[in-house]
Every structure is written in structure tokens, then in C-alpha cells.
Chains A and B, each alone.
Chain A
């Protein structure tokens, strides 16, 4: 508040100049304060007390107030304040409970003026009256606030907060008699300086200590005291107020009292240990919270920014060393950030009460800084200005900067474009110097009916067997599940895994029979067709790989499955090139990514302008329905002359026999090579699936194969897969499956997931209070809380209840009841909701 005196009018002709700069102090600073001429700053700390002149290019030490040979605790300052009326007057609060005033006008080297030793414990804050020359207020750890008249030797009045330590005191800027004090127990009190017996108003502002407060400096919010109800009582005092004002020195800006009487007292900003800055409207009878900013660390200081109605600066005493300037209406992203300090910032002050661009700060890292607002980093600029959200029915909404969307080249609306672009502009607020994002575009993409079905995912999740049987059976089972759902690639992968990992003695033999049987028995057209579909592209890419790599045959064969997928990926990449997907999701990590990819892969391309529909669906159809496409044929045509007999055989073989041929070769080679040999490939395959978005496959295989591959994939990746999969499962409400996955996972971070947050909070259905004790008997009403609202018997077993009204009962009864009525069966009138 020291900088907010309205004595200094405007900028006095010459605007402030300067640059972002800092100077090194000899010791950590605890507080700073600016002289009213905005050209000097005082820095105080445990072992420093100096005045610096602020020049254009640098800070210049002007005066060291710490004189005398032996260090005295009176000089170890917790706070310092410079009088805004008198350039020669300073006050400090010492850690040993002494309040000292300093008169720079004294001719002696020692400028110490008066010493008040009335507080028993550390004084946390001192504050001069904004207009009175001789009134000083202090707040101390001992829970008292004292008001001193500097013309007398001791305090004029003592205010007892009746609660714990006082952390901050601030005179209201507009209201002559009012001051606010904040307390360690979270309370804020408003006092009338003439009434030391009790506070005028008290409210709990924060959870835990309130470290700081600041009155809003502006006329529009801050004005003289009193609601309408108070006018009568204050009538007599009006004359006195006038005289006080007259004494109070020149106050050209003070408005006529008649206006101020009915206007509001204004806003008070408070900051607390609970990492919040709250703005209170204290003009009415109840203090009303008007804004709330959530910071990332406890708030040590808060200062309104001059000339900017909604801006305030904060710093923290722990953990976070930056200074933030917030627009209270945008409580999530700071408007500006100053990151110069290397240790906790302890004091901040705006250099001039009418200049919003200079901020001074002192820090524990022993530096004094001047920050220029134009040099501040603006987190908004680095923030991701895109938003993406899925609707309940698979619709996708996507907002981005208009410029970005418009700049997208080569985008032509397709015939089937179901996009509904909505452009809107945010109106710039003329009162607001800090202009937010100019405009953004919102696009909504609708789902084609039925195409967004993810039922395969849920089905797969539920039907997969992950443990409890021999590996071979698990693989077979899962392959069958995948095949039933028409996911042939996946099915084949399972089959391959089985071939690779099941012991070379018995398993290959059976697998051989199995596949040969399949391949050769043309009597089973269905099976056959599956094989065909799967193998065709597989063959294509295999040969392609053969050609390009000229590698050993076993390698190629094993690469087969992944190679198939690579072709897919290629496709996808080509799609991606003309799709904004990259910039859209480029920065987004994790689940969104996954979610998006999942859909992309499974050809439910609900973003028709991203991909031409003709391209999107064929990607899948190519594999599933049609014989090898032209490119594959071409590959084949190329291949024979490059590689040997195998490629030959593969490419020339008729479709129905290709499978058996391949299978045989698998078996032959497998039996010679240890499964370890393949683990790298299997890991690649898993990574590929995960990359592609089918994290389900990656996790399922990981669980089924267990130790065989786990060691080859690093823990973090595994964890990432697990969390993604579990998250997906939970979105589909597959709680049982997700729990099974958690249980089967070997990663420690995952398996402890279902040990966390196992507490269930329950309200008593009679008194609606939380039940503190365990069990089902309420402490307060001594009744059993688990009564069925339908049959009025105690429920044993499954108890279901509404979280809104706490009533519930037997699962069966409630289900039955809800068929007939949506009101609570207990008759409380609540519209119960059950998920």
C-alpha cells in the first residue's frame, strides 16, 4: 500500500524510465519499500538495511542504515515501510518484537528515531497511515496490533485479535479509519481505528495462515466506509471525519463525502498458505468472495497493480521463486511472470502508484530487481491455445486460434463434411490493457452414426483371458476372440506368439497341424477367407522387405506380422500429412493422444476433412475384404529376381497354399531357435501396437507373456501402457477388467493403484452428517445407517445408496423401485441418481 498513496498525482510530467536490472545485495532481503518519489527503494533483512537509488541503468547504494559496531537484533528486520507522505520517515519491524522508526532528516550518521518495545514477540508487519503523518500500525506474533502516534513515546491503542498471531496489517487506502488484519488461523478482521475494544467484522478467508492482504487502490472499488445501514450511526462522526481529513494534509483526490458515504468500501485481496489469492468485496455486510486465484505455492505477498483494475502481483515464500501478475478474472494462467530470482522472493513493490510497468522485488538470493512489465514472460503465449474434447456420443469439438485454422493450406471442404464451424471473437475490454487471445475458431465434428462404436474394445477386454491357463491356451483363446470380432491382424499376432513361445517340442507340432489343416482344408471357406485376407498384405510386405533387406529368411518371416502393420502405418502417415492432427495433438501427451489414435486406426474417421473418406475406409477394407491391391502385386512382380527361393515361393504360391507354406516355415525355424531370440521382435511389435493406439493389445500381450518379454521393455514404458489401458477401461466402465489388469501387472507403481484411495466416505442417512467411525452405526443419532429405504431392514451384503441424499438399500429393492419412480424411496423428495 505504501506506493498507492494518492498524494502523488499522475506521473508528474516526466514518465519513469529504466530497464530490467538487478543488483547484488550483501545479504538476503526480507522486505522492500519504495519512496514516494519512486526514485529510491529501501531493502531490509536480517543483516541488511540499505537505501538504493533507482537510476536508469542501475541501482546505486545511497545509504546504509545499519550503523554501529555490534549487530543488534533491533536491526534484524522482518518488515520495512516508507511513509508515503514524508520522504524522510521509515519504520521497520524487528524479529525481536521492536518497532523502530527512522528519520532520514537527522544529521547524525545514526538515523534511528524512536524505539517501541511494546510487543512481546516478533513483529510481522508495520504500516503507515496513508494520509496521516504520524500514525503507525504494527501487527505481531503475540496476537496484538498496536497503533502508535509518532509524537508520543508509546502506543495510542492496542487491538487484540483474540486469536493467533497477526501476519499482516493494512490501512484502507480510501477509508480513513479502517484497517484490515490477517491472522495465522485463517481469519481476516476489519477494525475501526477508533474502537480498540473489538473488531468490526471478522471472516474466515483461508484455510491456514493468511500471510498478506492488500486493499484495492482504485476509486471505483475502494471508497469511504460504511454500508447504507451505517449512515445513521455515523452521522455524528461525519463532522469529525471532515476535520480529520482537513488535518490529514493535502488530499486533492478525495472525493466529496456525500458520494463516498453510500459507495462501497472496496476490495481486499488476501493470500494464504493454502495457495490461494482471494479478492473480497467488503463493502456489504457480509464479506463476499468475488475472485479466487489458485497459485502453485503459498502466497507470501500480494500487491494490486496500479492503474489496472483486475491485476495483482504475488510471490511465494517457498518452493516457487517467480513473481506472477494475475488477472483475477483469468485465475488459471498468470498474465505475466518474472523469473529472475533464484531463491524465494520476499518483497515486491510497484515502483510508482500510477505506473503499472515497473515492479521492484527483493529476494532471499540477495538480489534486488527491477522488472519491466514489457520484459515479462507471458505464460499465455506459451500455453496451448487449442482445446479438444469428445462429446458424449463421440462428437469431437476442437477450438484453435483462428489464424492457425485459417492458415491450414490445401483444405477443401468435402461433400460429406459434417463440420459445423463456429467462429467467435472475444470482445477486447477497453478497460483492460492486457489483451487476451484475439479470436479462436471452434469446430465441431459429428460422428457418423454407428461408426464410432468401440464395442470391439469392450468385447475384447471382457473376453480376453490374461492368466490362469497355460500360455498356449491363452494365446489360442485370445486369437479366437480377436477373430470372432473380425480383428484378424490381432488374431494372427496371438497365433504367432503362441508359435514363438510355446515349447518347441510339442507346441510347434500342434501348431503345424493346426495351420496346415486350416490352410489346406478348402472345405472351410470361412476360415480360408480369413487366412487369405490376412496373409495377402502380409505377403506383400514380406516380399518387399525381403527385397530391400536381403536378410535371412527367419527374420523376414518373423517380421511378417509387424511388416503388415507397417504398411498400415505408412498409410496413416500419408493421411497425416494433410491433417491438422499433428499440430493439434503434437503437444498433448498421454491419453488424448491415445484416444485419438485409437479412433484413427480403427478407421472411424469422424473428421472427414482430415482424411478423405475414400481413403479412410479403404485402409481397412483393403485388408479385410479385397485381394491384394495393385501395389502389392507390383511388389510381388519385383521381388523374385531379388531374393531367393523363399520369396519366389511366397510370391508365386497360390493364395490358399501360402498360409500353410508360411506356417511350416515358422514351425521349422522356431524349433531351432530359443524364444529369447525373438523377444526383441516381439517387443518391437508391442511398441508398434501401442504406438498405433491399440494399447489393449500391448498390455494384454505383456501380461500373457509375463517374464518372457518384460525385461526387454523399460519400466516406464510399461507403466505408461498400463495406465493408458486402465484409464481406457475405466472410461468404458470395465471396472472388473481394469482391476484384473491392475492385479496382474508387475509394475509396482501400477499394482499399488488399487491400494490407494480405498476409503469410502459415508453419510448417515438420518442426520446427513459424515460418519466418522467405521462401521454402520452413526455416532450422533446412534442408529444403524444401513437401513434399506424400501423394506426398512438392515442391509447385509450389497448396499447401494444415492450420493445425494444418502438414502439407499438392497440393490434389488432399489433397482426395482427406480423402475417405477426416480424419487428417493425414503420420501425425502430427492431425485436420486445412480450410476
Chain B
């Protein structure tokens, strides 16, 4: 069989023209059937031991195709494609070939599948978003499916991501994906690494680079240090880091490239936070997203329990443990009451200057004890860790850190005034896109809290945002950090801190144990705040260093 015939072109499916999709699907169908036939004929002829290898290879290829088809049948925004690919899978099955089935039951391990929007039942706006995303990437990833709780944000997010990865920019395409891999690997986020390994190869990246950072060009290796510091201790970035990258003779970065890289790094660091924070499951067509084994009892149990895919009461017992429903109901009430109090007594009680200053220090110091008890070092899976060096380097508390690092004052260097101008100057249009994204994330509200309506949540959102910045040593002069203590309880702080600083340690337990009465969409909303605040914090430190270098 000629290799050309085996090539399956998926890009036709991204077309918005239904006839074009149909032709593409028909081609795929024929290819697959041809392969299947071939495979069967190979099987039926028992001799030819030399053929064993090619047999394995081609069946492997077929399996990949089938997995992709399975993904399409579940996740394509176009109904005709979903149906047709399911049909193809069925017909292959009839031919006696084992077909894959998805592992797990949804895009997120933490959120039951039925809570998440089903592909096919979206409204017009969401469909447009899905179609855009599908057309750009040829897939609808789980992150998108979870974020679609907040379509307004998703739109901005996808637009930014698309611009960063595919539109005009100083870095070549494969560099961009490789930097994405580097950033995600820093947090051992195999989900993002897998996705981008595929994309990296697709845009013509050198597979050798994937064996580890030391196989990548020196230029990218130089970026490793910045990646490391940025991911875990951004306050340590100095203009020397920047200078080191910009003045490395033939391996040096240009300012524009560096800004592009920094934006990509911060984007993927925070996206890794989201992936862990919402328990995004592997993509169906990637490793670990599907299985060819027939469903067995044991298998069923494992994946379903970890996915929280059982009846509601069961989940309550399982996750909320011994806390009763009424208890958690009071939680919401108490939070609302506190917000009301703060709103009212704000004008009366005036904290003194010193007290305000010390509150920030207290919050900063406390944030370091907030960690969940288990502090054991998890050795990262080998396949991911090879994309970065110095695996032991992790988040160290800002305040516990040995040498004295001065507090970062937002009033002296803020995103709106300074960061934006710098990014937009060096990487046009991106400043605008990110600015929009920050804005939407910060101002997003439905005026609801759990079962309450018409609540002004701005205070709560600001507390979350400023708490994250506080963990990175960024201080707002005009904020009373006492509010944080009032509004965020301990389990919530644990969750925030883990998601932002060491996302790889997030567990289902943490996710379930904060804000028990709140809806999943609200928890996703919290995650959006977390990742945007984190991204801004990292960006601020990196951009300030660049500014200092330039002056």
C-alpha cells in the first residue's frame, strides 16, 4: 500500500462547509476501511513471520485513527461529523476490529459530566465559540469544555491563545509550542505537554527536541532558567536574567521575542494551574483518554469513583465527608453576612497606618502556613520532567525566603499603565488581548452566590485577586488585607495556594472541600480568577525586569 493513501487528512473536517466536511469524512472512511481490510487479510494469512512488525505498526496507526474518530464522535461541534464518525466506528467494529471507548466520563475529573455542557446542546453563541476553536485547532479540548461555563471569558481566552500560537509574532510556530511544553512541564502538567507535543510535531518541530531540553537549541535552553524562576519564584527575576538572555551572542533573544516568550510562559504556567485546579482529564485521542479494552467491572469502578460520576448523595458522602449539608449551607450565609458587615462598617472603623501595613505582612506570612499538611516531594513522572531541568526547584514562600525581597507595589508598576504599554510596544496587539482577558476575568460576575441572587461579589473577587498577588509579594496600597482573613476561610486558602503555587498537588478532596454549597460553575469562575491573577503577577515581575533592563 502506498503511504500516500494512508495519509488521513483531518483538516477538511474543520471546514464550515458541510459538503466539504462530508467529502473529508468519506475519504477518511475509505482509508480506514482499506486499512481494516488490509489488517484482516494480514491476520488471515498466518505465515510470514517477517510481517509481524509491519502488522504491529499498521494496527497501531489504525488505532490512532480510531481514537481520533472516537474523539470526533464525542467532541466535534458539527453534528454531521459526530454522527458519521460514530457510524464509521460502528462499521469498523462490525468488521471485527476492536474499537476504543473513552476512559472516564467527561472533561473534568472533579466535575460530574452531567454538570458540564454536552457538545450538541450548546446555544448559538457557544456553538460559534466551539466552531471557532475547532476550526483553529481541529479539536475541542477539555479545557474549552470546562471554560464554556463562562462563554464571555472563553471567547477572549481562545482569541488570545489563538493569537499567541498561530498569528503573527516574532517566534516561529514550533518555538511557541515548545515554550508551551517547557512551561507546562515545569508544573508536570502532562495534559498540556501531550497536547503541545502533538501540535509541535504537527507544525514541523524536530522530534529530537522532545527528548529533553538539552536537545533543543541553545537559545531555548537559555530560557530554561527564566521559566524556572518565573514559574515558582517570580519575585527573584532581575534585570540580569533579562540581560543574560538578550546578550548571548548568536543565541541571544530579541526583545520582541523575549516578550512573546514571557507571555507564552506565563500563559502556560497559569493554564497548568487551571488544568490541575479543575481536574481536566486527558483528551480522548491522547494517551490515557481512551482504552481498547472492553468495559470490565473493576475498570468501571476505578474510573467512576475518581471521576465523581455517581449519584449526588454518594458524592456528598464521599467528598464532603462528615460535614452535613446544613453545615455547608451556613457557610454561605456566614460569608454573605461577613461581606455585608465589611461593606457597612468600612467607613466607621479606621485601621491605623501601621495596622494596615502589618495586616499585609500577616497575610503574607500566614499564606505560607496555609499549605496542606502533606509536604512530601512528589518526583515528577519521567516523561514530563525531561522538558525542564532542576526538578527540585519549586515554590518557596515569598516571606520565608532567605534574603530580603522588597515588596512589589502595584502603584509603582501596574499592568494597566506600565505592563500594557511595554507588551503592546514590543508585541503589538497582544497587550490589548491580554488586557481584555484580565478585565473580563476580574469583572466577570453573575451577581449570584450559590443559591443567592443579586449579590455584589466584587469584594470577594477583589479579596481573591489580592490574596494571590499577596502570595507573590505584590501589595496594593489601597487595600485592607484584613478583609482577606474575613472572607476566605482556611480550606479555600489551601485550595488557592495549592492551585497557584503547586498545582500538581491539587486533589479532588481540596476541590470538594472548599465552598461546598457553591455551584461547579462558580468554582470554575474562581479558577479563572486564580489563573489570571497568577498570570498578571508573573507578567508584572517579568515586565518590570525588562523595563529595568531597558532603562
Contacts and interface: CB of A to CB of B under 8 A. Distances in A.
A and B are interacting partners: yes
Interface residues of A, number: 46
A695 B425 CA distance: 33
A72 B353 CA distance: 6
B131 interface: yes
Nearest to A317: B417
B411 interface: yes
B422 interface: yes
A660 B132 CA distance: 68
B478 interface: yes
Contact of B421 (A73, A74, A76, A318): A318
A321 B417 contact: no
A122 B478 contact: yes
Interface string A740-767: 0000000010001000110100000000
A94 B425 CA distance: 30
A28 B412 CA distance: 10
A775 B128 contact: no
B356 A297 contact: no
A773 B416 contact: no
Interface in B317-370: 346, 350, 353-354, 356-357
A73 B353 CA distance: 7
Contacts of B121: none
Contact of B356 (A73, A757, A777): A73
B276 interface: no
Interface string B402-428: 000000010110001110111001000
Interface in B100-156: 128, 131-132, 135
A775 B16 contact: yes
A772 B135 CA distance: 13
Contacts of A533: none
A96 interface: yes
A73 B422 contact: no
- B15, B356, B409, B411 — most chain A CB neighbours (10 Å): B411
Given A775-B17, A777-B16, A342 B418 contact: no
Interface in B430-452: 432, 435
B50 interface: no
A70 B547 CA distance: 30
B357 to A, nearest CB: 7
Contacts of B135: 774
A127 B255 CA distance: 39
Contacts of A383: none
A319 B549 CA distance: 11
Given A318-B422, A748-B172, A120 B478 contact: yes
B353 A318 contact: no
A119 B477 CA distance: 12
Contacts of A117: 350
Contacts of B312: none
B16 A78 contact: no
Contacts of B357: 73
Given A72-B353, A209-B417, A96 B172 contact: no
Interface in A191-220: 208-209, 211
Interface in A296-327: 297-298, 300, 317-319, 321
B429 to A, nearest CB: 12
B168 interface: yes
A342 B551 contact: yes
Contact of A756 (B16, B168, B417): B168
Contact of A773 (B132, B420, B478, B551): B132
A756 B173 CA distance: 12
A94 B132 CA distance: 46
Nearest to B356: A73
Given A74-B353, A76-B411, A122-B477, A273 B421 contact: yes
Given A184-B416, A298-B421, A317-B417, A95 B411 contact: yes
Given A76-B411, A122-B478, A343-B551, A318 B418 contact: yes
Interface in A109-153: 117, 119-122, 141
- Report the contact-size class of chain B (Cβ under 8 Å from the partner): 20 to 34
A97 interface: yes
A130 to B, nearest CB: 27
A779 interface: yes
- A317, A319, A773 — most chain B CB neighbours (10 Å): A319
A267 to B, nearest CB: 25
A299 to B, nearest CB: 10
A46 interface: yes
B53 interface: no
Contacts of A342: 551
A2 B412 CA distance: 24
Contacts of B435: 208
A317 B417 CA distance: 8
Interface string A166-181: 0000000000000000
A74 B435 CA distance: 30
B22 to A, nearest CB: 15
A78 B418 CA distance: 15
Given A297-B425, A319-B550, A70 B411 contact: no
A318 B547 contact: yes
Contacts of A343: 551
A319 B478 contact: no
B425 A773 contact: no
Contacts of B168: 756-757
A46 B350 contact: no
B118 to A, nearest CB: 22
A70 B128 contact: no
- A76, A273, A318, A756 — most chain B CB neighbours (10 Å): A318
A76 B417 contact: no
Contacts of A184: 416
A779 B131 CA distance: 12
Contact of A317 (B15, B128, B421): B421
Contacts of B353: 70, 72-74
B478 A70 contact: no
Nearest to A319: B425
Contacts of B132: 773-774
B350 A97 contact: no
Contacts of B550: 319
A527 B17 CA distance: 59
Given A76-B411, A777-B16, A319 B422 contact: yes
B418 A317 contact: yes
Nearest to A45: B412
A222 B4 CA distance: 76
Contact of B128 (A72, A211, A779): A779
Given A748-B172, A757-B168, A95 B422 contact: no
Nearest to A70: B354
B477 A95 contact: yes
A265 B334 CA distance: 54
B16 A773 contact: yes
B470 to A, nearest CB: 16
B339 to A, nearest CB: 15
Contacts of B356: 73, 96
A161 to B, nearest CB: 15
Contacts of A344: 551
A122 B409 CA distance: 12
Nearest to A344: B551
A773 B417 contact: no
A237 to B, nearest CB: 34
Nearest to B346: A120
Chain A to chain B: the 8 pairs with minimum beta-carbon distance, closest first:
A775-B16, A95-B477, A318-B421, A95-B411, A121-B478, A72-B353, A96-B477, A122-B478
23 contacts: A46-B409, A73-B477, A95-B409, A95-B478, A96-B477, A96-B478, A97-B477, A97-B478, A122-B478, A184-B416, A208-B435, A211-B417, A273-B421, A297-B421, A298-B421, A318-B418, A344-B551, A756-B168, A759-B167, A772-B128, A773-B131, A774-B132, A779-B128
Given A342-B551, A748-B172, 12 more contacts: A46-B409, A46-B411, A95-B409, A95-B411, A122-B478, A141-B478, A211-B417, A273-B417, A297-B421, A298-B417, A365-B551, A774-B16
